[in-house]
Amino acid sequence: FVDIVHKVFPALHFQWLVREIKRNLPNELNFFIEARNCHRFSCAYRHQGSIRAPYIHWDLTTARVLTMEFVEGGRLDDKEYMTRNGIKPESIVSALDWLYRDMFFRRGWLHCDPHPGNVLVKATPNKPQLIMLDHGLYVDVNNQLRISYCRLWKALIDGDMPGVKQACTDMGVPDLHEIMAAVLTQRSWETIADGKLNVPRTSEEQSLITKRAMGKFFEITQVLQNVPRELIMVFKTNDLLAHVESSLGVERRESYYLSLAKECVSILGRYEAERESNLIKSYIISLQTQWVLFKLGLYQLYKMVF
């Protein structure tokens, strides 16, 4: 049916949606896969006291039945629960941002369904816990895509538009870099081109984004048709995280982009140093990377104090 629609209306690209449903639905219905994902997550963050997943009862789990530990807490968007337990929404958003940066950039896989019903916030004597539920939808990210995505975000943060275009070209959308950048950041192209992602979004900009999204519907479907399929799940995850932030009344601030910049600089620096066959040049690249990270860290500290 989708192919017929595409033949009648060539500008409409929905084959990507069918591919994703066909690929992901069987995995989401196999509870052994979800149990393995949950176990992988638990092992990865076993030393993070503020992040965890429920324990799996393996002896009571099959491909059709998943038995997990019962955990209590408030929904991720339950501001009443947070207020009652003295939890600041900003701290929850910050922890969630850190977790998703760590999964994607450091570990190369991603829990792709962080809607409010799939994450619990639990008050504890020390600091609140994030409890990640529903591990049925994961994506593994290959190293080349991870590097291209790092380059894209670094270029966006630097206001480097040629770099944005090159990174988008590397990911399959050479002529739609403005659309892809807007989809990824949920900001207008003017804000992106001016390097002002750290400036809070105004109601006027939000209205402009909504209007343009409707007018650029066909181009957006083209982006989704052409990017690597892993990136579609990243877009979906980013949308869910943005919804969580909005529901908690937390705007992405400069600290978010500084942390993201540090992550990208670190990974790209390590990647370039490992690729360099000359040991002296590799060492210089590593030193340059550490110097940039040091400056970013100083600036981040300055912004926290002042």
For 131-150, what is each residue's pLDDT tens digit?
999 998 899 999 999 999 99
pLDDT at 109: 94
Residues forming a β-bridge with 121? 74, 130
- Mean pLDDT (whole number) for 83-102: 93
Q: Which helix (H) or strand (E) holds 109?
A: strand 109-111
What pLDDT score was predicted for residue 7?
44
- Is the pLDDT reported for residue 254 higher than 80? no
Q: For residue 9, is pLDDT > 50?
A: no
* Residue 5 clears pLDDT 60, i.e. is over it: no
pLDDT for 196 beyond 90? no
What does the pLDDT read at residue 15?
59
Instruction: Give the pLDDT score at 256.
Output: 85
Predicted local confidence at residue 198, as pLDDT? 83
CA angle 16, 22, 23 (to 5 degrees): 85
pTM: 0.84
Residue recorded with tokens 């100083």: 298
Average pLDDT, the chain: 87
Give the number of C-alpha atoms closer than 13 A to the C-alpha of residue 257, restricted to the C-beta side.
21
- 4 contacts: CB under 8 Å, gap ≥ 6: none
Please, what's the b/e burial string for 76-91 (b: 16 or more CB within 10 A of its CB; e: otherwise)? bbbeebbeeeebebee
What gap in Å lies between CA 113 and CA 87, rounded to an integer?
A: 23
Which of 134, 132, 239 lies closest to 185, judged by CA?
239
Nearest to 100 by CA among 89, 111, 90: 111
User: What integer pLDDT is reported at residue 300 of this predicted model?
Assistant: 83
Per-residue pLDDT for 104 more than 90?
Answer: yes
Supply the pLDDT for residue 6. Answer: 43
DSSP state of 129: E
DSSP-derived secondary structure letter, 62: -
Q: How far apart (Å, rounded) are the C-alpha atoms in residues 13 and 2? A: 8
Task: Answer yes or no: is pLDDT of 129 > 60.
Answer: yes
Strands 51-52 and 129-132: parallel
Query: Would you say residue 24 has pLDDT above 80?
Result: no
pLDDT at position 12: 47
Read off the pLDDT of each residue in 225-236 and give the average, rounded to a whole number.
Answer: 87
pLDDT of residue 169: 94
Positions marked active-site:
113
Given this model, what pLDDT does residue 19 score? 65
What number is the average pLDDT over the span 172-184? 91
Residue 17: predicted pLDDT: 58
